[in-house]
Structure 1
Amino acid sequence: MRYFSSLFLAGALFLAPKPDATAQKTSRSPYKTRFAVDAPITLGLGAVSGLGLYLVQQKDGLTNEQLATLSKNDVPKFDRFSAGNFSRSAQTAGDFLCYGSLLAAPGLLALNEDVRGHYGQVLGLYLQTMLATDAIFTTTVGTVTRYRPFLYGSEGGASRNSKISTNSFFAGHTAHTATATFFAAKVFHDFNPDSPAEPFVWGAAALLPAAVAYTRIEAGKHFLSDNLVGYALGATMGVVVPQLHKTGRSNGYSFAPVQGLNANGYSYSGLLMTKQL
């Protein structure tokens, strides 16, 4: 699945239309960034992520006595099917998919000539986007206790008593993978809005975090609901953060005076505000 999705995304990026020989070498970036604004935001998100990691380190694991009291019946029916799952091979596969996507997403974007002309800006946006997801993830995991699915079985060894065994909500691997892939698809779309490769790009962006979510369920690391939240958050951050930097956003609103008569014959006047979607 990892190679399948990566090949799709790589192939789609190669299919992007290249500038004509007479066209300008470097296209205009669809994004507007300012170091004085974005640098403090990025640093702030990094600080929040660090705080979240600190909170995670302060958590306690479960004792053997506490583990003995756990019952699958305590798990909501929606998630109960995965209670007790444990698989080291699924965990390894999920790690490769997740960490590989974090490197592959910006790497594959560099294959596109238009993106490459503004690569420093894109990398800055990528870092900010990933930190936005990470800040929410670490602070949530650091303050919310939910037992991982494998605690409801007998496997896991010493990891059953680890402090990270209570970090089930929400799925960080899935969230970070979705952020990376949807960011790549969003940036590709903004630089190549008319590319016929877009269905393949968005398809690969959606499939890869879904594959990661599957491995995390099989590994007993997260329930389905944890993965759904992680997927939704990651995909949202991957699209929204670049969108907030789109050029011309401030021009999306227009104002015009209006006047007339209503159904009762009374005259009215005012200001009409419209927003281009």
Structure 2
Amino acid sequence: MKYSATLLLSGALFLAAGPSATAQNSSASPYRTRFAVDAPITLGLGAVSGLGLYLVQQKNGLTDAELARLSKNDVPKFDRFSAGNYSKSAQTAGDFLCYGSLVVAPGLLALNEDVRGRYGQVLGLYLQTMLTTDAIFTTTVGRVTRYRPFLYGTEGGATRNSKISTNSFFAGHTAHTATATFFAAKVFHDFNPNSPAEPFVWGAAALMPAAVAYTRVEAGKHFLSDNIVGYVIGATAGIVVPQLHKTTGNSYSLAPIQGLNANGYSYSGLLLTKQL
């Protein structure tokens, strides 16, 4: 997995910045992080990602006989238009956009003065957010077999028999790109809630993973549905993980409730709510 190099680099930065992230609890940051809590969570997510990678390695590719039996008619109609696609140039473009975004998105945050003062904390959050997506991605791919679109054509050479040719669901490039860009947009918003640049920041965050998704369809690596799922998971992780660390807007409340259910029986209890 090419993601490993970027995640390892982020991990080194996280460990180096860990103590300072916990020490920097000034009111300037919209986030609250604690090394004693967040480090084990991050390491746990890394362990789940590792388990997912192990599961991926245990998968088997298709034999020539199995490849010969594949039919585009077996692909759902909404995905069938891309069955048989294959493009090395589209794959290269998608790799460039994806791996570049993993570095550029958090890097651009350093240009903001407020974020730069809390950059160790932000990098720790970024690593945790990326590993959240990666844990979901690797465990899903490790357990779900879906043939990549290019297998329904004739191109691809030896990769047609590779175990990675069964890793179509869901789109990892799209998911990781969406995580990186939406995380950057979310952090920028939280540090600069009234910035006039916000529409452009969120627009760029949305367009980049969409562009990656397009290249993955053209390359024959993923179907449209794979990319939609990857986009949603990545964007959700990019927004939710930082939100869960917000110092405000995360209040809990406990209130008594009572009423009648649909069958006319009365009920009572306590309602726990958490504001996101």
TM-score, normalised with respect to structure 2: 0.83
| Runs of 4 or more above 6 Å deviation | 270-275
The residue number in structure 1 matching 2:13 is none
Given the alignment of the two structures, is residue 195 of structure 1 paired with residue 195 of structure 2, yes or no? yes
- 1:147 is matched with 147
Q: Per the alignment, in what secondary structure is the counterpart of residue 199 of structure 2? A: helix
> How many residues are paired up?
240
Kept in 2, the 8 Å contact 1:45–1:128? The answer is yes
CA displacement, residues 200-255 of structure 1 (integer Å, 9 cap, x when unaligned):
00000000000000000000000000000000000000000000000034436486
- Taking a change above 3 Å as real, the CA distance of residues 67 and 273 of structure 1, as seen in their structure-2 partners, is closer
Q: Which runs of 5+ in 1 are unaligned?
A: 1-25, 258-269
1:54 counterpart residue number: 54
2: CA distance, partners of 1:60 / 1:80: 24
The two structures, once aligned, show a CA RMSD in angstroms of 2.0
Name stretches of at least 5 consecutive residues in structure 2 with no aligned partner.
1-25, 257-268
Check whether the contact 2:252–2:272 (CA below 8 A) recurs between aligned residues. Answer: no
Residue aligning to 1:17: none
1:102 match = 102
In structure 1, the partner of 2:164 is 164
Q: Secondary structure at the match of 2:251?
A: helix
Give 1 or 2 for the bigger CA radius of gyration. 1
Amino acid at match of 2:127: L
The higher relative CO (CA closer than 8 Å, separation ≥ 6) is in 1
| Secondary structure, counterpart of 1:247 in structure 2 | coil
Identity of aligned residues (%): 86
Secondary structure of 2:126's counterpart equals: helix
1:253-264 pair list within 5 angstroms: 253=253
Offset of 1:276 from its aligned partner?
Answer: 5.7
Deviation digits for residues 84-122 of structure 1 (CA, Å, limit 9, x no counterpart) = 000000000000000000000110000000000000000
Asked if the contact 1:27/1:114 (under 8 Å) is kept, the reply is: no
Distance in 2 between residues matched to 1:47 and 1:271, nearest whole Å: 36
2:241 matched residue in structure 1: 241
Q: 1:273–1:87: structure 2 CA closer, same or farther, 3 Å change rule?
A: closer
Provide the C-alpha distance between the structure 2 equivalents of 1:246 and 1:38, rounded to a whole number of angstroms. Answer: 14
Q: Which amino acid aligns with 1:209?
A: P
Whether contact under 8 Å (1:254, 1:275) holds in the other structure is no
Name the SS of the counterpart of 1:70 in structure 2.
coil
Shift of 1:275: 6.7
Q: In 2 relative to 1, CA 254–195 (structure 1 residues): closer, same or farther, beyond 3 Å?
A: farther
**Structure 1-normalised TM-score?**
0.83
> By how many angstroms is 1:151 displaced?
0.1
Q: Deviations over 1:55-102 (max 9, x none)?
A: 001100000000000000000001000000000000000000000000
Q: 1:272 to 1:209 in 2, by over 3 A?
A: closer
Secondary structure of residue in 2 paired with 1:195: coil
2:64 and 2:249 map into 1 onto residues whose CA distance is 55
What is the CA-CA distance between 1:185 and the residue it aligns to?
0.2
Secondary structure at the aligned position of 1:234 is classed as: helix
Q: Which residue of 1 aligns with 2:8?
A: none
Partner of 2:73: 73
Alpha-carbon spacing, 1:159–1:123, altered in 2? closer, same or farther (3 Å)? same
